Amino acid sequence: MSSRTVLIGYNVRGRRVVAALRECGRTTGFTVVDSDPQRAEQAVMAGVHAVVGPCWRLRTLWLAGAHIADHIVVAVPDDDMAQRIISAVRSINDDATIITVARSSEQHQMVEYLGADHVVNVSQVDEWVPDAERPHDGGKAFADLEWTVMERAVTHDEIGCSPLDCRHQVLAVVRRGRRFWAEDPAVAVLRGEDRLLVVSPGSPKG
């Protein structure tokens, strides 16, 4: 049985998520939700089913199939809106895996409290990017940083480790063509032939 994914927010970050999921073979059961008709039209032109409407409204989320989705990615740039969306999603779907981005430790704690399962914290960018200068402003300089999901091979020092202990934030493990979420007991220990789906920061907006 194929899984169903709903992406909320078809901005630059959202488009990168779509591209990454397509590269990993996730081309079915995929829906975009955006309040901007033009962005929704861009999704349709790219061959992705889209629903237009306020992303936090239950009716919009229901039309997008969020109530039966397996995975929901919240890619809106506004933290308050992300909180509202996550709360609405969790109220109609207890089982979906929700992924989102937070820009502060307070936001991180709040979205986890509201029901997010995987939270990418912008203030932790220095921990994920090799040789990156450590931020001195709590991550504010990275407020507009775009994020992407990429697939990579398991490194030699990661073999035998849990995907949850890797240096980069691992969302899923691809093993023999099948994807498992990082917390799945089936992939408790990484193998050399595994591929990792990780969150990676892109370039700040110019």
pLDDT digits (tens, 9 = 90+) for 20-79: 666 665 555 689 999 999 888 888 888 888 999 999 899 999 999 999 998 898 888 788
pLDDT digits (tens, 9 = 90+) for 91-103: 999 999 898 877 7
Q: What percent of the chain has pLDDT over 70?
A: 71
Q: What is the pLDDT of residue 23?
A: 63
Length of the chain: 206
pLDDT of residue 24: 60
pLDDT at 122: 55
Average pLDDT of the residues in 151-170: 84
Q: For residues 82 and 129, what is the distance between their CA atoms, to the nearest angstrom?
A: 25
- Of the listed ranges 25-29, 87-91, 200-204, the least confidently predicted one is 200-204
**Span 104-128, average pLDDT:** 69
**pLDDT (0 to 100) of residue 163:** 86
| pLDDT given at position 76 | 85
Q: Which pLDDT score, from 0 to 100, does residue 190 have? A: 94
Is residue 75 within 8 Å of 35, Cβ to Cβ?
Answer: no
Residue 133's pLDDT band, with cuts at 50, 70 and 90, is very low
Structural domains of the chain in order of their starting residue, each with its CATH number: 5-204 (3.40.50.720)
Is the pLDDT assigned to residue 189 strictly greater than 90? yes
Tell me the mean pLDDT in the region 151-159. Answer: 90
DSSP H helices in the chain:
12-23, 37-45, 58-63, 79-92, 105-114, 125-128
Mean pLDDT across the chain: 76
Question: What's the rounded Cα separation, in Å, for the pair 197 and 67?
Answer: 25
